[in-house]
Chain A
Amino acid sequence: MSSIDFSHYEVETFYDEMFDTSGQVRPGFQLLRKKFEAMSRERMKQLQYASDRAQRSIGMTFNVYSDDQGIERILPLDLVPRIITGEEWSMMERGLRQRIYALNLFLEDIYHDQKILKDKIIPEHLILDCPSFLKQCVGLDVPRKIWCHIIGTDLIRDANGEFRVLEDNLRCPSGVSYMLENREILKRTFPDVFEQLRVRPVTDYAMELRKTLAHLSDLTSPTIAVLTPGIYNSAYFEHSYLAQQMAVELVEGSDLLVKDGFVFMKTIRGLERVDVIYRRIDDDFLDPLTFRKDSLLGVPGIFDAYSKGNVALANAPGNGVADDKAIYAYVPDIIKYYLNEDIILKNVDTYLCSREDEKQYVLDNIDQLVVKKTDGSGGYGMLIGPKSTREEQNEFKQKILDQPHKYIAQPTISLSRVPTMIDGQPEGRHVDLRPYILFGEDIKIIPGALTRVALKKGSLVVNSSQGGGSKDTWVLY
């Protein structure tokens, strides 16, 4: 039986998180290498099989939209953990804290005095044209002045290994259940390495989330609920998982009703008031009286109850204006403006097609760039220049010319790679990183993250809907 073998592992031209350019193993990964090299490929495949079984048995499955409702998939979990040192982590933590703090001030300002527009730091049209800017939220006083409570920022490591922010997800970031359950599986799979490396625990998350939500109410024990679109939603596993872990109610839109400006659940004993709702329904669908009229997922009148201060919603409606891809380019300015600090966690260079000179640059270099729709998500509606055909490029050029303000472009970043088991042998695969941040009494960042990995050879797209998998992320002390 052959063993797992790193001697043919190719770093190529990428930043590899396990090996440096001279082929030396980076700190933290030595133990892991030893562990794997003592293991047969067969054993590795067995472990992988057991892990897939475990995921199915826990019900860690999602429905892909294009599939039949009956088809459930697991997000493949690669068993090679990704290691982040304590030092790297604390830098990231500082950077995320700064960023979230500033973005929250930005939201409070945008929906009140709009000083940042008056001072001409951000062009006014960018906000007013942004579809995620909700005029219904203007003038709203949100509880504790917190808009973004639950955040899942997307980061990548560039060619030099430096962490950069790719997206601020302030709406309904998903995946935290994978961070928690991946950890359970990995602890079972490699208990010895886990123990020896001294990995920081992530178990507090659910209780911290509950505290974050409870903080939004003045009551000592408020009734908290997670609002889900239902079992056919691709993130349903997570909704039910979080409700169960926090020991709060899991409700669908039809379980709630608004009466006299308050929100109630329909229970077997009649109506019961709900004080805080962690809603996993998008702004558009939240309330058919205020937003999309055809929404069946939402609760008629809930926005009215919210604006009267009778129920707290997390995250706040209207947050999309702060994680919009066009606003993203201004985050360094936002941090400077509100905090008078330089940005710690840098953005990826971004060209705004709404700016004439940058648009021209994008059109001229489209084969080198990644073009994204400002209101797109989930890896849809984007063009990866170097991997696209001339036809696709022309199609996107036309789109940019038609609606320049809806597109941004970024250089193709060669995301860092981490060894990933492909048929029992390690091969480099590209990864990103999504840590989870909670903003309650204070900003709290759980030392862990969801690492998404592009399992297809050479692919840079890590989204679950497009052939991505996940890894457990081990943050050391």
Chain B
Amino acid sequence: MLSRTANSIYWMSRYIERAENYARFIDVNYNLSLEMAPGTPEQWEPLIITTGDYELYQEHYGQVNKTNVVSFLSFDLENPNSIRNCIIKARENARQIRPEITKELWEQINNLYYYIKEERDIENVLENDPRTFFNEVKRGCQLLYGIFDSTISRNEGWNFRAIGQYLERADKTLRVLDVKYHILLPHTRAVGSTIDLVQWGSLLKSVSAYDMYRKVYGTIKTNDIAEFLILDRYFARSVLHCLTQAQTALHDISGNRMGYSNEAERTLGSLKSHLEYKRIDEVIGQGLHEFIDDLQKHINEVNDAIQETFFHHEMSQDQYQEQTSE
């Protein structure tokens, strides 16, 4: 597989996952804002902090309110990570690798792209049932995962897609946990033992964990939530599960089963085993925020190692000259 092709699949996958996560974050927050007690501020600021683009937001909008935040995260072309930009970039990458993917997959990416292109009016979306819009995006992305799984061979392309998707997912789970946990925790302590079910439930819902979490733990407790989202072996969005899946894909690419055969495998493998033997009280004792910060740094290192190992021939994407065609 061409290095450029592998790179495009990896990024296509990350952008799709990012778009889906954003759609879910906004949807959950929107839903939450409907149930807030009178006088409590809506939680739009933490949402932008979660995405890591708070500075950019302040430059463009200043004031934090629902309309601005939804616009910034969904449609704003100035925000490189807005849902719209993610879908545009995912489709651009898909165009690069058209011969590697199936007609079904390509057509669905295109459909999503045209949906996003046409639905550009924030007022419109907010007035007419905004949740339909976020659901369409989520469903559109989930459809892509399904088409990928059911039409693409388990080849190198499939594996690079998996690596991109799981690293992106791990990163997003960590971000949500980090921001929300620290906003909710002091509040919870102050009130005593009861925790705000609506608020903590929304944290879980932001990463589609609400149903699966309750099946495992029954009741909602802060440490259990952290444990589930970071260390659970089976939950599809827990950090450990994501890293395990990414590791399997890396091994499938190299054919190596033991230890590591390249830098990507080494960084990811050591990060995964670090998590595998952690206990949550250890993590909390050490400081959850510091722990998450450290994890994110390591995930970025894995990303860099993948770039270095597989895509290092990559040249500038801007090389473009015109030639007339017959």
Q: Which residues of A contact B (CB under 8 A)?
A: 56-59, 65, 152, 169, 171-174, 229-236, 240-241, 243-244, 247-255, 265-268, 281-282, 284-285, 295-297, 377-378, 380
Given A59-B106, A254-B315, A255-B2, A235-B325 contact (CB < 8 Å): yes
B319 engages A230 (CB within 8 Å): yes
The answer to whether the Cβ of B187 comes within 8 Å of any Cβ in the partner chain is no
The answer to whether the Cβ of B37 comes within 8 Å of any Cβ in the partner chain is no
The answer to whether the Cβ of B324 comes within 8 Å of any Cβ in the partner chain is yes
**What B residues does A266 contact at CB under 8 A?**
2-4, 313
A173 engages B326 (CB within 8 Å): yes
**Closest chain B residue to A269, Cβ basis:** B1
A267 engages B326 (CB within 8 Å): no
Given A56-B110, A266-B3, A244-B99 contact (CB < 8 Å): yes
B86-106 interface with A by 8 A CB criterion:
92, 95-96, 98-99, 103, 106
Q: Please, how many angstroms separate the alpha-carbon atoms of A380 and B323 in the complex?
A: 13
Further 8 A-B residue pairs, CB within 8 A, beyond A174-B325, A235-B325? A59-B95, A59-B110, A230-B320, A254-B315, A266-B4, A268-B2, A296-B321, A378-B325
Contact of B321 among A243, A255, A297 (CB under 8 A): A297
**What B residues does A377 contact at CB under 8 A?**
324-326
Q: How far is the CB of A257 from chain B (nearest CB, A)?
A: 8
**What A residues does B326 contact at CB under 8 A?**
152, 169, 171-174, 377-378
Q: How far is the CB of B94 from chain A (nearest CB, A)?
A: 9
Q: How far is the CB of A167 from chain B (nearest CB, A)?
A: 8
The answer to whether the Cβ of B111 comes within 8 Å of any Cβ in the partner chain is yes
Contact of A268 among B6, B110, B316, B322 (CB under 8 A): B6
The answer to whether the Cβ of B114 comes within 8 Å of any Cβ in the partner chain is yes
Given A57-B107, A268-B3, A231-B95 contact (CB < 8 Å): yes
Q: Please, how many angstroms separate the alpha-carbon atoms of A152 and B325 in the complex?
A: 12
**What A residues does B310 contact at CB under 8 A?**
268
**What A residues does B32 contact at CB under 8 A?**
none
The answer to whether the Cβ of B252 comes within 8 Å of any Cβ in the partner chain is no
**What B residues does A59 contact at CB under 8 A?**
95, 98, 106, 110
Q: Please, how many angstroms separate the alpha-carbon atoms of A58 and B110 in the complex?
A: 8
The answer to whether the Cβ of B76 comes within 8 Å of any Cβ in the partner chain is no
**Closest chain A residue to B108, Cβ basis:** A57
Q: How far is the CB of B156 from chain A (nearest CB, A)?
A: 7
Q: Which residues of B contact A (CB under 8 A)?
A: 1-4, 6, 92, 95-96, 98-99, 103, 106-107, 110-111, 114, 156, 253, 310-311, 313, 315-316, 319-326
Q: Could you list 20 examples of A-B contacts with CB < 8 Å? A: A57-B110, A172-B325, A174-B326, A230-B320, A231-B92, A231-B95, A234-B325, A244-B99, A253-B319, A254-B313, A255-B4, A255-B313, A267-B2, A268-B2, A268-B311, A282-B324, A285-B321, A377-B325, A377-B326, A378-B325
Given A56-B110, A58-B107, A267-B319 contact (CB < 8 Å): no
Q: Please, how many angstroms separate the alpha-carbon atoms of A265 and B320 in the complex?
A: 19
Q: Please, how many angstroms separate the alpha-carbon atoms of A251 and B1 in the complex?
A: 11
Given A152-B326, A250-B99, A268-B156 contact (CB < 8 Å): yes
**What A residues does B320 contact at CB under 8 A?**
229-230, 232, 296
**Closest chain A residue to B92, Cβ basis:** A231
B323 engages A281 (CB within 8 Å): yes
Q: How far is the CB of A200 from chain B (nearest CB, A)?
A: 24
Q: Please, how many angstroms separate the alpha-carbon atoms of A45 and B2 in the complex?
A: 43
Q: Please, how many angstroms separate the alpha-carbon atoms of A249 and B6 in the complex?
A: 13
Q: Please, how many angstroms separate the alpha-carbon atoms of A282 and B324 in the complex?
A: 8
Given A58-B107, A266-B313, A378-B324 contact (CB < 8 Å): yes
In this complex, the member of A174, A236, A265 whose beta carbon has the largest number of chain B beta carbons within 10 angstroms is A265
**What B residues does A65 contact at CB under 8 A?**
322, 324
**What A residues does B4 contact at CB under 8 A?**
252, 254-255, 266
**What B residues does A174 contact at CB under 8 A?**
325-326
Contact of B323 among A173, A250, A282 (CB under 8 A): A282
B3 engages A229 (CB within 8 Å): no
**What A residues does B96 contact at CB under 8 A?**
231
**What A residues does B323 contact at CB under 8 A?**
229, 233, 281-282, 284-285, 297
Q: Please, how many angstroms separate the alpha-carbon atoms of A382 and B106 in the complex?
A: 39
Q: Please, how many angstroms separate the alpha-carbon atoms of A296 and B322 in the complex?
A: 10
Q: How far is the CB of A286 from chain B (nearest CB, A)?
A: 10
In this complex, the member of B1, B96, B99, B253 whose beta carbon has the largest number of chain A beta carbons within 10 angstroms is B99
Q: Please, how many angstroms separate the alpha-carbon atoms of A232 and B3 in the complex?
A: 20
**Closest chain B residue to A154, Cβ basis:** B326
A240 engages B324 (CB within 8 Å): no
Q: How far is the CB of B112 from chain A (nearest CB, A)?
A: 11
Q: How far is the CB of A253 from chain B (nearest CB, A)?
A: 8
Q: How far is the CB of B122 from chain A (nearest CB, A)?
A: 20
